[in-house]
């Protein structure tokens, strides 16, 4: 059963119950008023009865107009009666004391009477009214109430269907879009737009943002694969060329052979680094590791020591005890990429300076620097500045750093180092606090 039908049925059922309840209350109130009017007319007639003797004849006009009367002695003898049939009088009624009254509904054939019994000296008087007119009015009221309940319920169902159709229209279009994505794999789908800020509108906006994010992710993946293929082609071509040379010229000079093997080993090392960087770029920060409060200084110092041993460069670290909410492993990779970038371009042999202050990690080198026009582009995947194209590398290192900073609410800025070189600063969002030590 569709949501639209369920909403329509729910509204119809609620309306039906409410209408039936109102109808029953209205019917009972009207019924009570009608019987009250009948009882009032009987009571009015009894005032005349109480002022007469048992053997007096009662007038057919005045308070007895439209009423039937039966006078009975205490021994059960009927003195006079205008009822179509004689009313049976029980012993309890014959013993009714003078001035006392009793009210009852009496069946005479197919007719029903409302009868007021009044005790008199020496007998009793029964004053009754035929209830056919009252029952006719009540029957007509019942028919109108049933028709009204049916009409209101039907109208409620139709209105509910219209309202549910309007409410669920964006949901149906979202479902169609999801089915299209599932069947075709295409993210180019027609999504509903709504100005409503209710739950359905929020769901539509969230679905639209999700499709946009998936589209961007797919585009990034496609671009990553294309760029990776381009970057992998060069070292693979170099390795293939060297292998062909070794295969073609089996008797090479030992020095030439060593040079070729060294070249291939260098290319393999570069390929390994490139593959690792591609994996990092592809995975981003999508792992399930939750950020934790980390003292940035010790982490940066540990990475700096490892890079210093590998590159045989001096790396100086100054930290103020900043604490930030980060993924520790990803932080190590980002800092390692910053330091690798600095040691690669700084050929002066001097120290690499690293500072950690207010959750900002800055790496300063004494290399050629980065031109102003290139500073934003070097943060893109696989982009390499003109001065870097003669050096080994994939162009992914700073892109990984920038992605890490963005995922932690920060950014990367590039500036000139006083005295020459580049300063690359990675901000990790608002600092989580300062270490008291």
- Residues 210-220 pLDDT 10s: 888 888 777 77
- Residue 246 pLDDT > 70, yes or no? yes
Fold classified for 286-434: Heat Shock Protein 90 (3.30.565)
- Name the one residue in this structure whose structure tokens are 């090392």: 269
What number of other Cβ atoms are within 10 A of residue 325's Cβ? 18
- The pLDDT of residue 50 is 64
Q: Give the domain ranges of the chain.
A: 3-137, 199-281, 286-434
386 DSSP assignment:
G
| Residue 268 CA: distances (Å) to CA of 10, 95, 237, 392, 418 | 69, 125, 11, 12, 37
- Residue 435 pLDDT > 50, yes or no? no
Among 66-70, 111-115, 270-274, 327-331, the range scoring the smallest mean pLDDT is 270-274
Fold classified for 3-137: Beta-Lactamase (3.30.450)
- The pLDDT of residue 65 is 65
Burial status of residue 34 (CB atoms within 10 A of its CB: 0-12, 13-18, 19 or more): middle
CATH architecture of 199-281: Orthogonal Bundle (1.10)
- The pLDDT of residue 388 is 47
- Residue 340 pLDDT > 80, yes or no? yes
pTM for the whole structure: 0.45
- Residue 434 pLDDT > 60, yes or no? no
| Residue 184 CA: distances (Å) to CA of 187, 206, 222 | 9, 21, 18
Assign 192 a pLDDT band (cuts: 50, 70, 90).
Answer: low
- The pLDDT of residue 394 is 47
- The pLDDT of residue 85 is 81
- The pLDDT of residue 300 is 94
* Same CATH fold assignment for domains 199-281 and 286-434: no
- Residue 340 CA from chain centroid, whole number: 45
Q: What is the mean pLDDT of residues 360-369?
A: 90
- The pLDDT of residue 393 is 46
CA pair distance 390, 393, nearest whole angstrom: 9
- The pLDDT of residue 389 is 45
What number of other Cβ atoms are within 10 A of residue 341's Cβ? 22
- The pLDDT of residue 121 is 76
């Amino acid at each position: 059963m569709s949501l639209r039908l369920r909403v329509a049925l729910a509204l119809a059922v609620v309306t039906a119950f409410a209408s039936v309840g109102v109808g029953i209350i209205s019917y009972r109130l009207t019924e009570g008023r009608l019987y009250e009017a009948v009882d009032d007319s009987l009571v009015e007639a009894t005032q005349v009865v109480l002022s007469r003797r048992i053997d007096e004849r009662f007038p057919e006009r005045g308070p007895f107009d439209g009423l039937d009367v039966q006078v009975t002695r205490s021994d059960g003898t009927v003195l006079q009666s205008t009822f179509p049939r004689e009313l049976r009088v029980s012993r309890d009624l014959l013993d009714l004391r003078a001035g006392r009254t009793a009210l009852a509904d009496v069946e005479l054939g197919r007719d029903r009477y409302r009868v007021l019994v009044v005790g008199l000296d020496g007998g009793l008087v029964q004053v009754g009214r035929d209830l056919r007119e009252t029952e006719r009015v009540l029957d007509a009221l019942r028919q109108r109430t049933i028709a009204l309940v049916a009409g209101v319920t039907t109208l409620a169902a139709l209105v509910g269907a219209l309202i549910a159709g309007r409410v669920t229209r964006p949901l149906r279009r979202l479902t169609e879009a999801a089915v299209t994505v599932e069947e075709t794999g295409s993210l180019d789908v027609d999504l509903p737009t709504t100005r409503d800020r209710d739950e359905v509108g929020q769901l539509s906006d969230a679905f639209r943002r999700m499709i946009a994010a998936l589209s961007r992710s797919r585009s990034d993946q496609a671009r990553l694969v294309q760029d990776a293929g381009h970057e992998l082609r060069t070292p693979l071509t170099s390795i293939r060329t060297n292998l062909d040379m070794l295969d073609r010229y089996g008797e090479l000079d030992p020095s030439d052979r060593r040079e070729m093997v060294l070249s291939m080993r260098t290319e393999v090392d570069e390929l390994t680094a490139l593959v690792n960087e591609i994996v990092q770029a592809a995975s981003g920060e999508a792992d399930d590791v939750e950020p934790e409060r980390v003292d940035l200084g010790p982490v940066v110092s540990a990475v700096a020591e490892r890079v210093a041993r590998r590159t045989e460069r001096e790396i100086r670290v100054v930290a103020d005890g900043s604490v930030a909410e980060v993924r520790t492993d990803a932080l190590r990779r980002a800092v390692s990429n910053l330091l690798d970038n600095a040691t690669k371009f700084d050929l002066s042999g001097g120290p690499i300076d690293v500072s950690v202050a207010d959750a900002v990690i800055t790496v300063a080198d004494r290399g050629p620097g980065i031109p102003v026009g290139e500073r934003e582009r070097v943060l893109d995947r696989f982009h390499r500045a003109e001065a870097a194209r003669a050096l080994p590398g994939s162009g992914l290192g700073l892109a990984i750093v920038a992605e890490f900073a963005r995922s932690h609410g920060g950014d990367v800025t590039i500036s000139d180092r006083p005295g020459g070189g580049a300063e690359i600063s990675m901000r990790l969002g608002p600092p989580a606090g300062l270490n008291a030590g």
